[in-house]
Structure formats: C-alpha cells, structure tokens
C-alpha cells in the first residue's frame, strides 16, 4: 500500500494514498478502536453530515467567505456523498472522545479530497480545498455534529414510522379476520370476561398508532437547528449573516422546516431532545415487546398451553426435542426492547454528565439511538412479515373453552344480580356444566334469553 504524508497541528502522519480521509482521521483510527462500528454503519448520519457541509458551503459562498469555485466543488462532493458514494471512507469509530470532532474531521477530509479530485487536483493538495479553512468554514464540531445527528434521527424516525404503519395495518387485517372468534379476556392471567380475538388484534393496532404519533412529535422537536453557534454558542469565527443563511440553506437541502435555536448557548450544551427521543424509542420498543410477549403466551403449548393462536413455524426449535417449534420472532422483539431500554440509560447518563458549555458524550448518545432505531425498525418488519401475517386462530379450542368459562357469568349480573351470577360461576367452575346451561338449570333465565346476552357481550 502506498501512502502520502499529511500534516495536522500534531505533525506529519502517513495516510493511505487511496484514502479520501486524511491526518485527523488517521489519528482517530489509531485512538479509537472501540466498538468496531464505523460512522458508515449509519448511512443516514453520513448523508446528514454531507447536507450540513453543503448548506455551510452555500452560505459561505453567498456571504463571500469562500471562493465560489471552491464552494461549487464542495457542493459537488457533498452531492456525491448524499447519493451514496464514498461512504466507506467515513471510517472512524462511532465511540470516540472529543465530542464528535473525529467524525466532523472525517467528513471534512473526505469532502475536501473528493472536491480536489473534481477540480483536477491530487488528494491531499489542501492549498486548493482545505478541510478546515474551506469545508469547515464558519463551523465547529459543536454545531455540525448535533445538527447532523438530528437530521439523521428524523430520517430514522420516518423509517420506523413506515414499518409501524405497515404493522398496524397487518394487525387490523387480522382483527377483521378474527372478528367472529370469541375468546375469554384475561386480567392477571385469570379468566375475566368474553371478547373476540379480533378486538384483541385491533387493540394491538391502536397502541401501535399511538406510538406513531408520539414518535412524530419527537421528530418535530429536532427541527431546532444550532448552526452558527460554533464552539459554545457565541458564533465565534462565523461571518455576519452566516447563521440565518446556513439554516435556510439546510432547510432547502433537507426539505425540512428547520428553525434557528432560540438560545445558541443552551442549544450547544443541552441534549434534552436526545433524551426525549430515546424515551419515545424505548416506549415504542417496550410496547412492541409487550405485544410480542402476549403473542408468545397466546400461542404457548400447543398441547399444554394457551394455544389460542398458532404462529407460523419459522425454524426447528430444538436440537434434541423433535417437532418443537419456538416463537423465535416475538422473542427477537423482546431482546431488542431489552437492549433499547439499556441504551436509554446510557443516553440519560451521558446527558447528565455533559458539563458546562458542551456535552462531550454525544458520540455514545448517537450510537445508542441509531442502533436502537435500526434494530427496532428491522424487528418491526420481521414481526409483520414473519409472524403476524401468518397467524391463525385455534377456533375450535377457543369455542370449547369459552362455553365452560366461569368468566361468562359476569355478563349475567345486570339481568340476574351478583349473587345469582356467582352461583352460576361456581357451578361452571366445578366443571358440572357450561355457564349458559347453569343459568337455565338454576332457573335464573330461559336459555334463549341467556344466549342473546352472551352474543351481545362477545362482539
């Protein structure tokens, strides 16, 4: 491998000739071999960084801060990256010291070198396009990095929302399919009152729709933009007018209605919006886990469990027990939720420990959130395609159980009173007869009238 020599404020360092990154990235690769997860693992973040740099170049060009030819070359490089090119050169580890400086400089160097090639110059000839003096003009990691994280999280929320919408629709379809299937509802794992399996699945759809609304609300909170804050919020090194022009340019490029932060010092030091997003992500994950746990219970057995529904068989469930099939898809959603709940604690601790004018721990916040959104988005997709769409109801067994459940006696309280209904329930619990037969046998109601009551409460 051939190398070129590059210099930074610490001195000279070799950089692979084929690399679009430079000296700062080379040092970061040596300093932070931590998670093995490069920035390129999250394409949304790479695209967001390119958008921010393109908006900055446009603002700097309009304000005369950089030469229009250089600005155009930067714009070209950013568009290539936004189109999916050169992502493999965003190679620094997501977990890093320096509050994201390594990620920002990785972006600056890649964009500078792509721009250099576009202008006909060799990589590393920074006298023509410089990573800091041109690509990073009027910027700091401390306003670029959180802005890019927000843009990428908005995109991640939209991806998750798309999958949640599809899952909710699948739940509604199953709800319609099972609308006629009567079963016993349960409280505290004990028989309660009759309902339909269809209503159970419609309730799953409703809770998913609630989470879609909450997640969209959290996305709206991230439209506040701190570009122009530079190091700590004072705007030092930014030319007059840069802040407004950069935010406007980023709105145009991203298609999002971004607004300038009301207080740039506060926006630079506070990461409350990331805690909020993390909380909403955890809420959605836990609710997916709860639904998955319900599916596992309802399908348990199949001979010696609830066995109310049958999940599609995805793979053999044991290396020793023939014929065993496990609920592997719902189990996966449970584990995703466990990881996201733990990551929410990480985000909380990172937010708490960001001292004074800057939170240095945004890298671990970003990694926790992007991983969580990726995992949950993928998990919701497989829950729909590999599980929900193939569920069938054990109608015969449900019908048999409902007819003998003492819980049916509750439906008769308005007609015969609590004491009489309790007598019916005890007779049914003893296994002597079905509830409807007990009502008639004890003389509380004609069988035909009792059937009308059961039909009414079971729909």
Hey, which residues are catalytic here? 318
**Paired tokens of 143:** 């306003």
> Is the CB of residue 114 less than 8 Å from the CB of residue 77?
yes
Taking the C-alpha atoms of residue 328 and residue 383, their distance in angstroms, rounded to an integer, is 10
Bond preceding residue 302 cis, omega within 30 of 0: yes
Query: Phi/psi of residue 428, each to 5°?
Result: -70, -40
Taking the C-alpha atoms of residue 401 and residue 405, their distance in angstroms, rounded to an integer, is 6
CA distances from 177 to 147, 183, 209 (A): 45, 14, 19
CA distances from 454 to 146, 183, 380 (A): 58, 12, 36
Q: Give the Cα-Cα-Cα angle 136, 30, 345 (nearest 5 degrees).
A: 80
User: Sign of the CA dihedral 19, 23, 24, 29?
Assistant: positive
A 10 A CB-CB count for 109 gives 30
Long-range pairs for 209-213: beta carbons < 8 A, 24 or more residues apart:
209/168, 211/164, 211/280, 211/283, 211/284, 211/287, 212/161, 212/164, 212/165, 212/168
């Amino acid at each position: 491998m051939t190398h070129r020599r590059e210099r930074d404020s610490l001195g000279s360092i070799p950089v692979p000739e084929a690399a679009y990154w430079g000296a700062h990235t080379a040092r970061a690769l040596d300093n932070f071999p931590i998670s093995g997860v490069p920035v390129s693992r999250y394409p949304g973040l790479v695209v967001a960084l390119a958008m921010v740099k393109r908006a900055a170049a446009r603002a700097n060009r309009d304000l005369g801060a950089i030469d229009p030819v250089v600005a155009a070359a930067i714009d070209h490089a950013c568009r290539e990256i936004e189109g999916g090119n050169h992502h493999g050169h965003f190679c620094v580890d997501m977990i890093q010291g320096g509050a994201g400086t390594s990620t920002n400089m990785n972006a600056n160097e890649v964009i500078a070198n792509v721009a250099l090639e576009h202008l006909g110059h060799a990589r590393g000839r920074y006298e023509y396009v410089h990573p800091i003096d041109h690509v990073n003009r009027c910027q700091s990691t401390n306003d670029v990095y959180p802005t890019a994280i927000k843009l990428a999280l908005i995109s991640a929320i939209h991806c998750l929302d798309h999958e949640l919408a599809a899952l909710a629709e699948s739940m509604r379809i199953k709800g319609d399919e099972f609308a006629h299937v009567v079963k016993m509802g349960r409280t505290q794992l004990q028989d309660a009152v009759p309902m339909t399996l269809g209503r159970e699945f419609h309730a799953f759809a409703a809770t998913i729709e609630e989470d879609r609304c909450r997640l969209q609300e959290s996305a709206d909170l991230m439209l506040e933009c701190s570009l122009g804050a530079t190091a700590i919020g004072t705007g030092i090194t930014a030319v007059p007018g840069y802040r407004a022009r950069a935010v406007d340019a980023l709105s145009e490029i991203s298609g999002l209605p971004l607004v300038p932060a009301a207080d740039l010092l506060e926006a630079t030091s506070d990461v409350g919006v990331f805690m909020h997003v993390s909380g909403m992500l955890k809420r959605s994950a836990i609710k997916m886990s709860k639904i998955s746990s319900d599916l596992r219970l309802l399908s348990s057995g199949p001979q010696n469990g609830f066995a109310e529904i049958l999940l599609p068989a995805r793979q053999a469930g044991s290396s020793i027990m023939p014929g065993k099939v496990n609920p592997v898809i719902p189990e996966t959603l449970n584990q995703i939720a466990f990881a996201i709940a733990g990551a929410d604690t990480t985000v909380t601790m990172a937010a708490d420990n960001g001292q004074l004018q800057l939170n240095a721990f945004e890298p671990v916040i970003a990694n926790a959130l992007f991983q969580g959104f990726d995992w949950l988005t993928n998990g919701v997709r497989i829950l729909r395609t590999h599980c929900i769409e193939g569920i069938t109801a054990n109608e015969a067994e449900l019908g048999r159980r409902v007819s003998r459940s003492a819980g049916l006696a509750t439906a008769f309280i308005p007609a015969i009173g609590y004491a009489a209904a309790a007598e019916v329930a005890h007779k049914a619990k003893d296994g002597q007869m079905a509830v409807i037969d007990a009502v008639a046998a004890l003389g509380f109601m004609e069988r035909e009238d009792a059937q009308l009551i059961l039909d009414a409460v079971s729909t």
